[in-house]
Amino acid sequence: MGLEQIAANDKFVVLLEWALALEKRYKNLLQGGLIQIQYNSKEVMDSSFGAMDAVNRLDEVMLCLQQCFRDTDAIARYGTTFWVLVPMTDVDPVTSKVQGVINTAKLGGLDIEHTDVQVHMLRDHGGWLSRMGCDPQLFLSYLETLE
């Protein structure tokens, strides 16, 4: 993981913590969501491409996401899972944006056929935030348990 990706992950965590605190306090002020993109599994990536090629492919996906989303959106990668924080939007534009990213990636030669994409609107998790607080890592772990 390069310095740029570490900085992107740090920015993502800070902004997510802020967005969760706003959501907990003001209920749907940001009207934002989180996009979870699971790009295969580490084991599948390593066995299919080899470790170095897998890392390069994940870097390409990260670059594609950074180019396709707005500057105000925050993007992070943890392993083979990408997270995109999209404030001030609703479900339909987010879903369209994700489909656009997948299409753009395909045109660029990235194989993202085996990708699990979920959109989590922050407003739908107010009860959890009230009980558990605004810890970004805990919130992401909670979202990973949802189907």
Please check whether residue 147 lies inside any domain of the structure: no
pLDDT tens-digit series, residues 64-96 = 888 888 888 999 998 888 999 988 877 677 777
Query: Could you give the number of structural domains in the chain?
Result: 1
**pTM metric for this prediction:** 0.83
Residue 116: give the domain boundaries: 3-140
Does 7 reside within a domain? yes
CATH number at residue 30: 3.30.70.270
DSSP characters for the chain? --HHHHHHHHHHHHHHHHHHHHHHHHSSSS--EEEEEEES-HHHHHHHH-HHHHHHHHHHHHHHHHHHS-TTSEEEEETTEEEEEE-S--HHHHHHHHHHHHHHHHHTT---TTEEEEEEEGGGGHHHHHHH---HHHHHHHHHT--
Tell me if 145 is assigned to some domain.
no
Domain-located, residue 8: yes
